[in-house]
A and B are shown apart, each in its own frame.
Chain A
Amino acid sequence: MAQDSSPSTTPPVDPYAEVPVDLKNRELALLLAWLLPGGGHLYQGRRGKGILFMVCILSTYFLGLSMGGGHVVYAKWDSEDKRLPFLCQVGVGAPALPALVQAFRVTRQQEPILIFGSPVMAPPVDTIQLDDWHREYGFLFEMGTLYTMIAGLLNILVMYDAFAGPVFMIPDSMRKKRAAQEANAPPNPSEAAPEATSPEASDPSSHASKSR
């Protein structure tokens, strides 16, 4: 395809090219992203992604929580039960923190706080109660645990995105497509021109991650 060399025309924009992102205060964005999924992005003004993260992660988390009747997220670490999934679930931030409050109260022999009339996120008193939950909810207890764990793990990706910006990369299908186009394209002598006009090269303050 012939290229138009007139100065008034703009070159085609590559949608996969790196975009400078204003991350504002990175540490604050990281904290907000952990406390509320998408919160860090909303603080940075990246509303679309912030809302996407919030909807996706919170809906997954609360869907999983409801599958197990509010019992799949709890914190417990004793000789009977070491609740390792909570290490993943706590990645979702504030929505998982009531589990710590409930665990603190139960450990001190206090009644757990009732949320909507139920001791949501309270740890089981003993293994018999845990067995009862498994009998009552069946495979949904494990499925709910899985959903809430994945929500927490996904929020770690989101926290990294809020702290350091996106890890720009080209999807495999697009990479193969471009490689095929380059292989079929006729040799163009103008491609040998120096690439000194890169926007990243002229703006050192802009965020630029390496493409993979």
Chain B
Amino acid sequence: MNTPLALFGILPGISLLLYAMPLIVVVSLVYAATRHEVWQPILKHALDTGIWITGFMGVVFVVLLFLGWGL
């Protein structure tokens, strides 16, 4: 079972990631808006924060994927 095909095993759970989308947007916007007072930096900072959170989740996903590879 330790083949790339095993990756398809995660497909049914991918829809759960949709629940993270609103949280990423809201957390990024609110966090950025508490760091600036005008819209341009708020939106720029929110975009950076959203990308950072998504990247962090991706790294955690890859780490967990490798840790669970042999299970």
By a beta-carbon cutoff of 8 Å, the part of chain A in contact with chain B is 15-16, 19, 21, 46, 48-49, 52-53, 56-57, 59-60, 63, 139, 143, 146-147, 150, 154, 157-158, 160-161, 165-169, 171-174
Contacts and interface: CB of A to CB of B under 8 A. Distances in A.
Nearest to A52: B33
Given A171-B48, A172-B48, A15 B30 contact: no
Contacts of B40: 15
A169 B48 CA distance: 13
Place the interface of chain B in its size category. Answer: 20 to 34
A169 B35 contact: yes
A19 B48 contact: no
Contacts of B37: 19, 21, 46, 49, 165-166, 168
Contact of A15 (B23, B26, B33, B38): B38
Contacts of A60: 22-23, 26
A40 to B, nearest CB: 12
Contacts of A169: 35
Interface in B24-39: 26-27, 29-31, 33-39
A154 B35 contact: no
A21 to B, nearest CB: 6
Contacts of A57: 26, 30
9 contacts: A15-B41, A53-B33, A139-B16, A154-B31, A157-B30, A167-B35, A168-B36, A171-B44, A171-B45
A157 B30 CA distance: 8
B48 A56 contact: no
A154 B27 contact: yes
Instruction: Give 4 nearest A-B pairs by CB, closest first.
Output: A161-B34, A19-B37, A56-B26, A171-B48
Interface in B7-63: 16, 19, 22-23, 26-27, 29-31, 33-41, 44-45, 48
